[in-house]
Structure 1
Amino acid sequence: MFNLDWHGVLTGLPLQWIISGFLTTIWVSLAGMALATVLAVLFLALRLAGGAGGRAVVAAWVSVFRNTPLLVQLLFWYFAAWNLLPLAARDFVNADHAWSILPGDVWWLTPEFLCSAWGLGVFTSAFLIEEIEAGLSAVSHGQREAALSQGFSTWALFRCVLLPQGLANAWQPIVGQYLNLMKLSSLASGIGFAELTYQVRQIESYNAHALEAFAVGTVLYLLLGVVMGVVLASAEPGKRRKKALTQRAFVQSEVQRDR
């Protein structure tokens, strides 16, 4: 029979570590999601309008980052690529800046945060490109031709016609990638980033309450995943339009049945 001592995890310094790690996980996940989305949209536009050269660049990007482990990528960005930056840039990041503190006392202008957010965003963007591309493929070719006949440029066609419908078509897989990014943020502990997993392991070393600490960490990851899933599902593009069309179809079917 286990004798669990929650007091050693949910009070004092361990509790502060748990809260700090949880908030850090939230912020780095949001940063990675934003970066992954921007990169995916830009590379999709390049694939559409960049010709053979653009398609080759996007294919290389997807191949490299989808087929190498995320932990290896994080180690590369932190221990190799970071040192390639100009010394002035590294000194600027390492200096104290009052404006670089996020709510919850999370410092975002640090090598660990920046490399973690960048690594997570780049890795996830490679998957988002393919997910959104699948959604774009579901848009009928007639809509593309109609937009071009109306004088839409390639970028306007992508931004106004293809992308909104592509996101709506592929929203559930996109949400899955965002949730996967949040869970994969635990690998950032490998470069010393003080997110939730790092703090849980620190509690294990501090007072040997490993079972209690990992149990709390698991619950927090689960809670964050559920909340993110609900929020992202409610933000599905075109959800209201689909609901309205469904209601309209139902009303029409009822009218026809009454006739």
Structure 2
Amino acid sequence: MTGSEPRTAPSAAPLTGPAAPCWVTLMTRDLETAQRFYAQVLGWSFRPGRLGSDFSVARRGEVPVAGFVTVSSAYRVAVAWMPYFSVDDADVAAARVRERSGTVAVGPLTLGKGRGVLASDRDGATFGLWERTPPSLSQPAPDDHAHAWLRLRTRNAFDAAIFYGEVLDWANGQPGCCDVAYEGDEVIVRCEGRPLARISSGAVESAVDPLVRPHWQVQFPVADVAETVAAARRHGGAVVEERGGLGGTEVTLRDPDGALFAVTDVRTPLDPGAR
């Protein structure tokens, strides 16, 4: 399937360091409908995955940018966008999750040429771990753009930073490792010196609204937010939340299957006004 011209905007360079965000995956109930929606909204094209008909890979031009998985027959998890973090040993990382009161839902499981884990932190935010066994789709393609920012909305940013820091071995002093910085009420995660994720306090574990519960939000930089939002509405999506500031605009959207994601014209998670 081939969509319209890409609406995604250039941003930072991809990462290969240990414990860096390395991939994002959409868990969906209807693969064909999801592919059609994101092709029209973000300009992606799709190719079948190597793991069977329940998998496909979204591409911007010739560059892989995201995985799509049919949850009805692949994994019994909620419809959602999920970030993956690169790890050297999936067994060790999964054990660290359990030791720190997180939950391992699936894995470590061999998938193609890598090993994956689906987990949630102690506040309920879901994420994935991927053991780097090259060549694999968890490794960024040879391209000069990153394709998504991450933001964790959680109960307490400082507690969450400790959890992920211990699980992923952030700030270990080794070359290429991810580091964290406390800035006001937020934590900024930098990998290879570049900001890739924000961790924000204030989420409520028992909230009915999924935007208020602890969760990882995947944010896609786009060239024109208004055009992207209009395309989402035309093709069955809905606007959930809009934020703006000096740095740009961020709009949270719901796709036709209910998965939440954000589009933004903010070029880095540290731009003024980014939410």
Coarse TM-score class (shorter-chain normalised): under 0.3
| Higher share in helix | 1
Which protein shows a greater Rg? 1
TM-score normalised by structure 2 residue count:
0.23
Q: Tell me: higher relative CO, structure 1 or 2? Use CA pairs within 8 A at least 6 residues apart.
A: 1
TM-score normalised by structure 1 residue count:
0.24
| Higher share in strand | 2
